[in-house]
Amino acid sequence: MSLNIPETKNPRVVIVGGGFGGINLAKHLKHAPVQVVLLDRNNYHLFQPLLYQVSTAGLEPDSIAFPLRGIFRKQKNLVFRMAEVTGIRAEENILETGIGELHYDYLIFATGSNTNFFGNKTIEANAIGMKSLIEAVQIRNYVVKQFEESLLLTDPEQIKAKLNFVMVGGGPTGVELAGAFAELRKYILPKDYASIPQNLMNVYLIEAGPRLLASFSEQTSQKTLKSLEELGVRVMLSTGVKEYDGKTVTLSTGEQIQSHSLLWSAGVKGVPVHGLPQDIILPNGRILVDDFNKLKGFKNVYAIGDIAQMTNDPRFPKGYPMVAQVAIQQGVNLAKNILLEMNGKVEKPFHYKDLGSMATIGRNRAVAEFAGIKMSGFPAWVVWMIVHLMSLLGFRNKLVVFINWFYRYFTFERGTRIIIKRGAANIVKLRQTVAS
Amino acid sequence: MSLNIPETKNPRVVIVGGGFGGINLAKHLKHAPVQVVLLDRNNYHLFQPLLYQVSTAGLEPDSIAFPLRGIFRKQKNLVFRMAEVTGIRAEENILETGIGELHYDYLIFATGSNTNFFGNKTIEANAIGMKSLIEAVQIRNYVVKQFEESLLLTDPEQIKAKLNFVMVGGGPTGVELAGAFAELRKYILPKDYASIPQNLMNVYLIEAGPRLLASFSEQTSQKTLKSLEELGVRVMLSTGVKEYDGKTVTLSTGEQIQSHSLLWSAGVKGVPVHGLPQDIILPNGRILVDDFNKLKGFKNVYAIGDIAQMTNDPRFPKGYPMVAQVAIQQGVNLAKNILLEMNGKVEKPFHYKDLGSMATIGRNRAVAEFAGIKMSGFPAWVVWMIVHLMSLLGFRNKLVVFINWFYRYFTFERGTRIIIKRGAANIVKLRQTVAS
């Protein structure tokens, strides 16, 4: 097997990663006289902002994943290959992958980020991260299984340990997860597991800093805290997680919580490819780039999105936030710059245009800040839904997600709380092939 | 952990299996003075007739699975537990499960059937069965992976082996699978994998008997054969599969086909529980029952659906066909009989009312036979869609499936051809818990 990329006389632009940055860069090279090679370990683009809804049985995994071949079917200058990048030999302009090598004229890393456990191996071994589709599906399976198994127990302390769900990290993901779990407690528990007293299930949200949603205004943080507490979430601010062995969460205050489920969204980190010089890789795994997303010391290698650290904006002295909007805008800007450079013109430095941020907390509850406006409650929730529906790729996905939300709104029901588990013997072969 | 079933003074009816038979039996006991205990290894009812569409990327797995708790939320006399049945001690009226024992007054096995490889261990080790949701999802992953990997090959013989899909068994499942694969070849291959010549992908349907759909009329068999051949399927009748080592299919004619994908739907068998007397278990694993679905020699133990073999109908000397309609009707009849028996009245023997059969072959193509009417082509296809949509449980599932079909009809697109694979390290823990 080899990558089997067609020969071309045009410059070859190799993009590693089909996330928000990668696909926007590729799209904006559609009419350029280049060959675009897009590589991703998966064959789909994942709409990460809605991942937490898959893990809490609100959406099917298929609704938030869109096949990359579908996105680029009409882009004649693009070749997609499912491949894992293993290294780079920059002096030769060669990228190494699990299925062969590839010469590039331009190389862009758009590989995103992974869960960051900040070096705590015990937590890493026992906590649950949430960055991939399979993780979200398995969290859903795991959570429903906790509910089912709680029915088999009689000791309230044992039931509590099964139904205590602890979220770590008070950013948008942690807030959205905590809200979704609180809604499972409020709407699903009394209906489907009526024999379990509601006070045996508790949802915790633990944040090391003094407030939730640190990137929002103080006022929005307060509203978020109030909304979550109204939903029954136990929010603990200025509190860190010291240790977690799979059964007991030990907090920085010395307090302990019995829980089989610690969901970690307290940080993300980059995972840079093998072969890059160590002096441009930061402790959080991000790669240092200049104002044009070019790797320091390189001529034709770039990084965009979460994996890139650019510090040309005084508002963001530690680099831009690791959010979709930065990745999208850097992708679009880099596409323009590659064309400018090919035509011998002067490239344009990246400037981030903050379009605002939002987070949903639950039914009729969200917060949003954009263009100097602060919204909360029902209006913010409607805006949140519209923005996310519009951003989803593909008509089919939009419609299916809309129906799920509409249905859930009026029935308080979660359609997809099924446990897909393996069992049949002759699956072993399939699993080995697919997992490899 | 224990099953933790509430004590009751009413007779306890234990149903093993939440398929078509089990849920219809349970539903018809809704107003009876009994405690119904429903056990299933999964927490959902699976709509098996559409499983082949999940495996060919036409439907999301969640659309054809419905949580059992959702179905029975309003049935106050029913308790559901996710449990695997391991044995029976009939003399004590005790059922054994993986999480404890349970006393029953009435016990019903509605455990369905599994793939039957007729004792050929090599085929069993290398072929792919299709009876469970996880199998269907993994087939989808596997098939899309074959397409992706075919792009990495240059030798036409190697590409052929990857893109030859061999279905064994000319019953409805085999016919529907072959039609769906032929449509992947016709509509998806040229669009998404345009660099691969269509003649390198071939779909085979192999049937040991002299015609397809043996339970239908001769005329319908002919029409099905014609339709499949028009779609490009290579149908081989009166041909058996002698051996399959994962790479080469050896046929009874001596002919060989290179293929990495053999999908086996040539037979099903029952898997009876440990502890039943061997003399009432047939070689195909079905349990002999009398006209009232009662196990021969038992007073209060029954079997319904695929697992039961009843021979009171001269039209079906080898027992009723293993289809949903038989299971549903037996479930309803048994519910009535349990009530009659409790009231000291005479039970009614089961009589099968054949409502007809249908199979879909592809876009605008199906066959149907009911009430003496034979349909084919577009009208049969419309009837097939309506019947299957109406039979799906739950409004949400109906709507999502309808949208997928509608969308696919006009776009020739398959929405869900994503490969969900595992990769992240800290999934190991989740996998172990969920798979156990």
**What are the pLDDT digits (tens) for B285-343?**
999 999 999 999 999 999 999 999 999 999 999 999 999 999 999 999 999 999 999 99
The residue of chain B with its CA nearest to that of A148 is B82
What is chain B's Cα-based Rg? 23
Residue A433: the pLDDT is 38
- The number of C-alpha atoms within 13 Å of B41 and in the hemisphere containing its C-beta is 18
A81 contacts B152? CB cut-off 8 A: yes
User: Which two structure tokens, joined as six digits, stand for B107?
Assistant: 């016990």
Interface of B with A in 312-331 (CB under 8 A): none
Nearest CB to B416: which of A62, A134, A154? A62
- Closest Cα in chain A, distance from residue B99 (Å): 8
**Residue B59 class from Cβ within 10 Å (0-12 exposed, 13-18 middle, 19+ buried)?**
buried
Q: Could you tell me if B260 and B126 are in contact, meaning their C-beta atoms sit under 8 angstroms apart? A: no
Does pLDDT of B139 surpass 70?
A: yes
Structural class in CATH, domain B121-266: alpha beta
Nearest CB to B430: which of A62, A114, A128? A128
B417 contacts A191? CB cut-off 8 A: no
E strand or H helix that includes residue B276: none
Shortest CA distance to B123 belongs to which of B207, B245, B267?
B245
CA–CA separation, A38 and A83 (whole Å): 9
- The number of C-alpha atoms within 13 Å of A368 and in the hemisphere containing its C-beta is 21
B43 contacts A418? CB cut-off 8 A: yes
pLDDT digits (tens, 9 = 90+) for B252-272: 999 999 999 999 999 899 988
Which range among A305-309, B119-123, B242-246, B370-374 shows the weakest confidence by mean pLDDT?
B370-374
Residue B363: the pLDDT is 85
Interface of A with B in 251-270 (CB under 8 A): none
Chain A hits for B146, CB-CB cut-off 8 Å, are: none
Q: What is the mean pLDDT of chain B?
A: 91
B127 contacts A67? CB cut-off 8 A: no
Q: Could you tell me if A427 and B55 are in contact, meaning their C-beta atoms sit under 8 angstroms apart? A: no
Query: Locate tokens 């439907």: which residue?
Result: B59
Q: Which of B419, B428, B436 to mutate to test the interface with A (most CBs of A within 10 A)?
A: B419
Interface of A with B in 197-216 (CB under 8 A): none
Query: What secondary structure, in 3-state letters, does chain A show?
Result: CCCCCCCCCCCEEEEECCCHHHHHHHHCCCCCCCEEEEEECCCEEECHHHHHHHHCCCCCHHHHEEEHHHHCCCCCCEEEEECCEEEEEHHHCEEEECCEEEECCEEEECCCCEECCCCCHHHHHHCECCCCHHHHHHHHHHHHHHHHHHCCCCCHHHHHHHHEEEEECCCHHHHHHHHHHHHHHHHHHHHHCCCCCHHHCEEEEECCCCCCCCCCCHHHHHHHHHHHHHCCCEEECCCCEEEECCCEEEECCCCEEECCEEEECCCEECCCCCCCCHHHECCCCCEEECCCCEECCCCCEEECHHHEECCCCCCCCCCCCCCHHHHHHHHHHHHHHHHHHHCCCCCCCCCCCCCCEEEEEECCEEEEEECCEEEEHHHHHHHHHHHHHHHCCCHHHHHHHHHHHHHHHHHCCCCCCCCCCCCCHHHHHHHHHHHC
CA–CA separation, A212 and A210 (whole Å): 7
Nearest CB to B141: which of A421, A423, A434? A434
**CA dist list (Å): B149 to A246, A431, B259:** 39, 16, 14
Residue A392: the pLDDT is 85
Sign of CA dihedral B332, B338, B340, B341: positive
Nearest CB to A134: which of B100, B416, B422? B422
Q: Is B402 on the interface with A (CB under 8 A)?
A: no
Q: End-to-end alpha-carbon separation of chain A, Å?
A: 15
Nearest CB to A133: which of B135, B407, B420? B420
Interface of A with B in 88-147 (CB under 8 A): 99-100, 114-115, 124-129, 131-135, 137-139, 141-142, 144-145
**In this structure, are strands A256-258 and A248-251 parallel, antiparallel, or unpaired?**
antiparallel
- Closest Cα in chain A, distance from residue B323 (Å): 21
Shortest CA distance to B405 belongs to which of B144, B53, B132?
B53
Shortest CA distance to A252 belongs to which of A238, A242, A244?
A242
Q: Give the Cβ contact number of residue A430 at 10 Å.
A: 20
The residue of chain A with its CA nearest to that of B70 is A192
Chain B hits for A141, CB-CB cut-off 8 Å, are: 430, 434
Domains in chain A: boundaries: 12-41+83-113+270-342, 121-266
Q: Could you tell me if A126 and B429 are in contact, meaning their C-beta atoms sit under 8 angstroms apart? A: yes
- Closest Cα in chain B, distance from residue A432 (Å): 10
Tens digit of pLDDT at every position of chain A (436 positions): 789 999 999 999 999 999 999 999 999 999 999 999 999 999 999 999 999 999 998 888 888 999 999 899 999 999 999 999 999 999 999 999 999 999 999 999 999 999 999 999 999 999 998 888 988 988 888 999 999 999 999 999 999 999 999 999 999 999 999 999 999 999 889 889 999 999 999 999 999 999 999 999 999 999 999 999 999 999 999 999 999 999 999 999 999 999 999 999 998 999 888 899 999 999 999 999 999 999 999 999 999 999 999 999 999 999 999 999 999 999 999 999 999 999 999 999 999 999 899 999 988 899 999 988 999 999 999 989 888 888 888 777 888 888 888 877 777 766 667 777 654 333 334 434 333 3
pLDDT digits (tens, 9 = 90+) for B342-400: 999 999 999 999 989 999 998 889 999 998 899 999 999 998 988 888 888 877 788 88
pLDDT digits (tens, 9 = 90+) for B74-107: 999 999 999 999 999 999 999 999 999 999 999 9
**CA dist list (Å): B107 to A277, B44, B406, B416:** 69, 20, 43, 40
Q: Which of B1, B39, B82 to mutate to test the interface with A (most CBs of A within 10 A)?
A: B82
User: Which two structure tokens, joined as six digits, stand for A329?
Assistant: 């805008």
Bridge partners of B167?
B205, B263
pLDDT digits (tens, 9 = 90+) for B2-39: 899 999 999 999 999 999 999 999 999 999 999 999 99
Shortest CA distance to B108 belongs to which of B384, B422, B385, B337?
B337
- Closest Cα in chain B, distance from residue A89 (Å): 22
Q: Give the Cβ contact number of residue A87 at 10 Å.
A: 13
ipTM of the complex: 0.85
In chain B, % of residues over pLDDT 90: 75
Interface of A with B in 136-195 (CB under 8 A): 137-139, 141-142, 144-145, 148-149, 151-154, 191-192, 195
Structural class in CATH, domain A12-41+83-113+270-342: alpha beta
Nearest CB to B69: which of A1, A73, A192? A192
For B99-120, the DSSP string reads TEEEE-SEEEE----EE--TT-
B42 contacts A419? CB cut-off 8 A: yes
**Residue B170 class from Cβ within 10 Å (0-12 exposed, 13-18 middle, 19+ buried)?**
buried
Catalytic residue positions of B, numbered: 176
CA–CA separation, A237 and A251 (whole Å): 11
Q: Is A429 on the interface with B (CB under 8 A)?
A: yes
Chain B hits for A426, CB-CB cut-off 8 Å, are: 115, 124-125, 127-129
Residue A416: the pLDDT is 64
Residue A63: the pLDDT is 86
User: Which two structure tokens, joined as six digits, stand for B103?
Assistant: 């006393």
User: Which two structure tokens, joined as six digits, stand for A125?
Assistant: 């071994």
Q: End-to-end alpha-carbon separation of chain B, Å?
A: 15
Q: Could you tell me if B161 and B259 are in contact, meaning their C-beta atoms sit under 8 angstroms apart? A: yes
Distance of CA A139 to the CA centre of its chain: 14
CA–CA separation, B104 and B92 (whole Å): 9
E strand or H helix that includes residue B75: none
Nearest CB to B138: which of A2, A99, A434? A434
CB pairs under 8 A between A and B: 219
Do domains A12-41+83-113+270-342 and A121-266 share one topology? The answer is: yes
